Amino acid sequence: MYILSIETSCDDTSVAILEDNKVLSCIIKNDSKQLNPFGGIVPEIVARYHEENIIKALDLALQESNISLNQIDKVAYTNQPGLPGSLFVGEIFAKTMAYALDVECVPINHIHGHILSPFINSVPKYPFMSLIASGKTTSIFLVKSANEIIELTKTRDDAIGEIFDKVGKALGYDYPAGPKLDKYFDISKATITPSFPPVKNDFSFSGIKNKFLSIINSSKMKNEEIDTITIGSSFLKYSIDLIIKKLKYYKDEYSVDCVCIGGGVANNNYFKQEIKKLFSDSFVPESKYSTDNAAMIGFAYYEKNK
């Protein structure tokens, strides 16, 4: 079975083609550099980028997979969550393709794609705990099967990737700021140590965002030199440690010793180091599947319907 999958939930335009659970091609087009003047996502602009890029991505995916359109058996697309305008572009394109090819068109939850992404091209190991940490969400799930996914906790406000970008911007880093925070991270410089909230509470990142923005703005107002390494390292360590504490709580609560990490924060080196200390079995998607991509949408469709 050949699956055409489409992902347009935020600023990445992605088209993939799978043969069952095997990825034949996955094209990702992103115009994030053009968003630098705005310091982040502008919904109307990224929706327009999707319109410009989606056919190009489809053409490249077909070329790379050596598959023709008339061989496609199913179309899967991201329907939630995400930016409404971006999702709409992907949905209309997917339904148009499915209608033209006379095949079924199936909506897939973007988060479920991230949850299953560590197992792309392989077989999931159920049950497992899943952390999705990205620019749009920060949640922990207990995953008993592809169709039995239980949310244990989520963020009440900002997502971790979102505050990485906002604090990173204040430190002078381009969007997306996560890779720069990771690059310049020095644990010996992480000397700013706020207290942690009760572990049973849902995630909340707005308070720590505001605390570090206040530190940065205070230095600017006093015309003091901003110690980007100390502030950035302290901010990153606190944010990651907050997640690790929460994971440990649920690991003990449900006696699950396998964890899967999805979302862009999975690329962070300090985070990967701490995960290995906590869990005996951990799975992280390949780097090319750790950010938004259509391969995970096609793979999620396969796992839910095999």
Q: Which residues are annotated as a binding site?
A: 110, 114, 132-136, 165, 178, 182, 268, 292
What residue numbers does the annotated binding site for Fe cation cover? 110, 114, 292
Name residues whose C-beta falls within 8 Å of residue 152's C-beta, 6 or more positions apart in sequence: 139, 140, 141, 142, 250
Q: Comparing C-alpha atoms, which of 293, 279, 303 is closest to residue 129?
A: 279
Binding-site positions for substrate: 132-136, 165, 178, 182, 268
> Residue 198 burial (CB < 10 Å; 0-12/13-18/19+)?
exposed
185 closest CA partner among 241, 244, 252, 129: 241
b/e burial code for range 5-14 (CB count within 10 A of at least 16 → b):
bbbbbbbbbb
- CA atoms in the 13 A half-sphere facing the CB of 237: 18
- Cα 160 to Cα 244: distance, rounded to the nearest angstrom: 13
Helix spans in the chain (H) = 43-65, 84-101, 110-116, 160-170, 178-183, 206-221, 228-254, 269-278, 294-305
